[in-house]
């Protein structure tokens, strides 16, 4: 073969190969990066699209939910508006109904007041007629006296001529005759006037008082200064006395009452003028007996606990009394004193119950007579407030009550009614007179009070003695527990007309010299018997 043979290529060096590999690697990285970029961009575009789609869906759901909530809110608002409107209309109807009822009650009260005014006008007219009749009778009496005076000289002369009497003797006979005629006429007139007054006044008074008593009166009598504690056995007395008398001394020291242990089986007597202390001692002793542990330390512990309980009961009793009476604004100290009266008695009558009864009676009577009902009820409830602490201070319960009422800023009308309810001062207001009457009704009605047998017998004896002291009285008898006295007169000394004056004189003397609850009826009886025997 012709020509030069081809020279083989020289092999590449290591550096060349490294450069080639580096360039290839760089190129691969660049291509990979471009590919990754496009893949990432596509993925991100897809995610962005999905996100926009999800956001659109969420916004649509939110819009729909907002519309739904708006519709529900509108419906709820309409329902609430409808409910409020219905409630407003119902309350309006109720208020209109209540106003109509109140208007009817007011109209009814006005009608009742008009009727009462008509009745009072009629009674006033009857009183005026009675007054005119009395004036006419007085005028007739004056004319009769004048006529008798004109005839006096003629009668004296005639008597001297006919009877041959002296002027002095004739004068005495004439005076006796005129006096007898005047007494007879006066007695007849007094009977007529009293009968008319009773016909007009007693019926109305009895209706008012009877209605008040029927609505308020209850029997209430309790122990006064003694409490009795029953024991399970006689040996309990020794435990109460204790060694060397230490237990009974501790009891008396802590409670402030006297403890009497005598031969009466299974009974211990507690005495003391303070009813609250006596009640504390009674409850303390009962708890100690039921518990069985009796020693000075235990006695003090139980007594303190009972004293706290009694204080709470006193406060509660006072608050209940004020609430039951329907009064407001009573000072808390007066409320406590009212509660203390729960344990106070007078003639066996519970003072708190008596005060409530007087309060109710005063309110009813005041309403019937047109007086201030609130003042009357307040004064009736507080009229005996001094009895709550009259054993602790000097003075009567009236003086103490007046001081307490003024101290705790009660109105002057209430203070005056408290001061006048026993007649210590003259009653100047209608409410004070009403409280006087209500107090007398509550204390004098049967079953309200109880007095000791000794005082009861003495009062009856004195009642009969006073009646027997009058001239012409043959015998007298106290009946109906001293609420009536029947006086039998000698018919030859006391005529029918004189019995009227005798009854009045006896009643006046009883009022001035004898103390008694309520009222006493004086019944003078004149009986003439003519006896003859057929032979």
Residue 167 included in any domain: yes
pLDDT of residue 133: 83
The pair of three-digit structure tokens given for residue 180, joined into one six-digit string: 């007898």
The answer to the question of residue 150 being in a domain is yes
Q: Mean pLDDT, to the nearest integer, of 148-165?
A: 67
Q: Give the C-alpha separation, 135 to 129, whole Å.
A: 10
Domain containing 472 equals 453-526
What's the whole-number mean pLDDT along residues 106-132? 84
Helix (H) or strand (E) holding 522: strand 521-526
Residues 246 and 394 in one domain: yes
Using CA atoms, how far apart are residues 526 and 535, in angstroms rounded to an integer? 29
Taking only the tens place, the pLDDT of each residue in 412-458 is 999 999 999 888 888 889 999 999 888 888 776 544 454 455 566 77
Considering the domain architecture, whether residues 313 and 357 belong to the same structural domain is answered as yes
Mean model confidence pLDDT for the chain: 80
Other CB atoms within 10 A of residue 329 CB: 8
Same domain flag for 415 and 461 = no
Indicate whether this model's pTM tops 0.85: no
Q: Is residue 497 one of the residues assigned to a domain?
A: yes
Q: Are residues 195 and 286 in the same domain?
A: no
One domain, residues 181 and 268 = no
How many Å apart are CA 248 and CA 243, to the nearest integer?
Answer: 9
370 versus 218: the higher-pLDDT residue is: 370
Contact status, residue 467 vs residue 506, Cβ threshold 8 Å: yes
Residues 376 and 511 in one domain: no
Q: Mark whether 396 and 271 lie in a shared domain.
A: yes
Total residues found in the chain within this entry: 535
325 and 369 part of one domain: yes
- Domain co-membership, 196 together with 318: no
| pLDDT, average across residues 204-226 | 51
What is the arithmetic mean of pLDDT over 283-300? Answer: 85
Residue 43 lies in a domain: no
| Rounded mean pLDDT, 317-337 | 89
Cβ 489 vs Cβ 506: under 8 Å = no
Q: Are residues 146 and 295 in the same domain?
A: no
- pLDDT on residue 222: 40
* DSSP β-bridge partners for residue 269: 228, 260
In a domain, 5, yes or no: no
């Amino acid at each position: 073969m012709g020509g030069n043979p081809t020279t083989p290529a020289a092999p590449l060096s290591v550096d060349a190969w490294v450069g080639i590999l580096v360039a290839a690697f760089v190129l691969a990285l660049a291509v990979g990066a471009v590919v990754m970029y496009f893949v990432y961009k596509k993925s991100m575009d897809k995610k962005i699209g999905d996100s926009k789609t999800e956001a659109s869906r969420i916004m649509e759901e939110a819009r729909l939910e907002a519309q739904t909530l708006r519709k529900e809110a509108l419906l709820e608002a309409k329902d609430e508006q409808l409910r409020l409107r219905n409630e407003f209309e119902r309350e309006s109807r109720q208020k209109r109904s209540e106003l109509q009822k109140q208007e009817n009650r007011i109209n009814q009260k006005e009608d009742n007041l008009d009727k009462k005014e008509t009745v009072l006008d009629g009674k006033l007219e009857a009183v005026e007629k009675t007054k005119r009749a009395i004036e006419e009778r007085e005028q007739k009496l004056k004319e009769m006296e004048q006529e008798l005076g004109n005839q006096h000289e003629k009668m004296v002369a005639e008597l001297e001529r006919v009877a041959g009497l002296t002027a002095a003797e004739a004068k005495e006979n004439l005076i006796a005759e005129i006096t007898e005629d005047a007494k007879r006429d006066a007695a007849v007139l007094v009977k007529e006037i009293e009968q008319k007054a009773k016909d007009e006044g007693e019926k109305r008074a009895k209706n008012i008082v009877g209605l008040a008593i029927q609505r308020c009166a209850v029997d209430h009598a309790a122990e006064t200064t003694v409490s009795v504690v029953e024991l399970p056995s006689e040996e309990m007395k020794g435990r109460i006395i204790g060694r060397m008398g230490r237990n009974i001394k501790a009891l008396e020291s802590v409670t402030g009452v006297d403890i009497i242990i005598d031969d009466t089986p299974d009974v211990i007597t507690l005495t003391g003028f303070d009813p609250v202390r006596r009640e504390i001692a009674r409850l303390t002793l009962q708890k100690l007996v039921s518990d069985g542990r009796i020693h000075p330390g235990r006695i003090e512990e139980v007594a303190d606990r009972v004293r706290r309980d009694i204080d709470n009961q006193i406060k509660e009793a006072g608050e209940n009394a004020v609430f039951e009476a329907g009064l407001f604004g009573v000072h808390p100290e007066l409320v406590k004193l009212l509660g203390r009266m729960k344990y106070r008695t007078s003639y066996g009558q519970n003072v708190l119950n008596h005060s409530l009864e007087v309060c109710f009676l005063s309110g009813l009577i005041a309403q019937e007579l047109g007086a201030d009902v609130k003042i009357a009820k307040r004064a009736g409830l507080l009229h005996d407030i001094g009895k709550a602490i009259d054993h602790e201070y000097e003075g009567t319960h009236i003086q103490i009550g007046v001081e307490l009422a003024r101290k705790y800023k009660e109105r002057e009308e209430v203070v005056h009614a408290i001061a006048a309810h026993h007649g210590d001062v003259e009653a100047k207001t209608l409410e004070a007179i009403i409280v006087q009457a209500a107090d007398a009704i509550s204390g004098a009605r049967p079953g309200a009070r109880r007095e000791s047998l000794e005082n009861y017998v003495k009062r009856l004896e004195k009642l009969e003695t006073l009646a027997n002291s009058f001239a012409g009285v043959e015998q007298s008898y106290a009946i109906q527990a001293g609420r009536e006295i029947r006086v039998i007169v000698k018919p030859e000394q006391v005529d029918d007309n004189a019995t009227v004056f005798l009854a009045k004189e006896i009643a006046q003397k009883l009022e001035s010299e004898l103390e008694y609850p309520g009222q006493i009826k004086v019944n003078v009886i004149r009986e003439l018997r003519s006896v003859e025997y057929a032979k």
